[in-house]
Amino acid sequence: MKHFLTSIIFVVLGACFMSLAPAAQATEKPDYTIVQSDDKIEIRDYPEMLLAEVTVMGDRDRAANRGFRKLAAFIFGDNKVQSKIAMTSPVMQTPKSESIAMTAPVVQTPSNDGRWTVNFMMPSQYSKETLPVPLDPDIRIVETKPYRTISIRFAGRSSKKNIGKHQERLTAYMEANGIKILSGPEYAFYDAPFVPPMFRRNEVHYRIAQ
């Protein structure tokens, strides 16, 4: 009976997730190129991107929540852009709020002093000149250069244990293959909390030389 109930729960969770899958798939994601693949470990080339990022203090979970809230407020309308009107007399500029589409993933990067940088990729339709200006002075708009990563993808919760296990696997792979890193780890989380853990996409990245 217990196994039957467990099966029913998995079916229901799967059906709920599948009903939400089209919206999740529609979320814009970085358009990287896979250079090399070995099971769940990939070497990827990323193009230049426009990011909104914020640096916050605290442990990883607390920093993720604080950073996410700040960036979510920005993309959901806590921003301002000057909208020019066609030449008349007088010339006027009208500020307006604009909601920015959600993208994935949310990326966390630790520093050595307890700070975390949290960022969202901005939708590709924007340039640095056309992106709405954040009202929160803590938010920075950054244009990245193309870069290469070695990355491992895994499902489950974004717990310290789950992340640590896969980070160790990635580190062992790099040591075995003589791959040298250029920076510390970056943690990427693609899915909303309502997505069942078995269907979530998480990643650990290290930047490496091209």
Give pLDDT tens digits for 16-71: 444 444 444 557 888 899 999 999 999 999 999 999 999 988 888 888 888 889 98
Q: Is the pLDDT of residue 92 over 80?
A: no
Is beta strand 115-121 parallel, antiparallel or unpaired with respect to 106-110? antiparallel
State residue 46's pLDDT score.
Answer: 96
As a whole number, mean pLDDT of residues 81-92 equals 37
* The token pair that represents 88 in the structure block: 């008349």
Angle at 188 between CA 184 and CA 193, to 5 degrees: 145
Confidence tier at 174 by pLDDT (50, 70, 90): very high
Mean pLDDT of 99-108: 83
CB proximity list for 131: less than 8 A, separation 6 or greater: 50, 81, 100, 122, 141
3-state DSSP call for residue 24?
Answer: helix
Taking residues 169-192, what's their average pLDDT?
A: 94
- What tens digit of pLDDT does each residue of 4-26 get? 333 333 333 344 444 444 444 55
Residue 18: predicted pLDDT = 40
pLDDT over 60 at 157, yes or no: yes
> Model-level pTM?
0.79
Distance from chain centroid for Cα 158: 13
Residue 78 vs residues 71, 91, 195: alpha-carbon distances, Å:
9, 26, 26
Has residue 169 got a pLDDT over 90? yes
Convert the pLDDT of each residue in 117-134 to its tens digit.
898 888 888 899 888 899
Architecture of the domain spanning 28-208? Alpha-Beta Barrel (3.20)
Determine what percent of the chain is predicted with pLDDT higher than 90. Answer: 42
Alpha-carbon separation of residue 146 from 31, 44, 183 (angstroms)? 11, 11, 15
- Window from 77-81, 94-98, 120-124, 161-165 with minimum mean pLDDT: 94-98
| Domain regions of the chain by residue span | 28-208
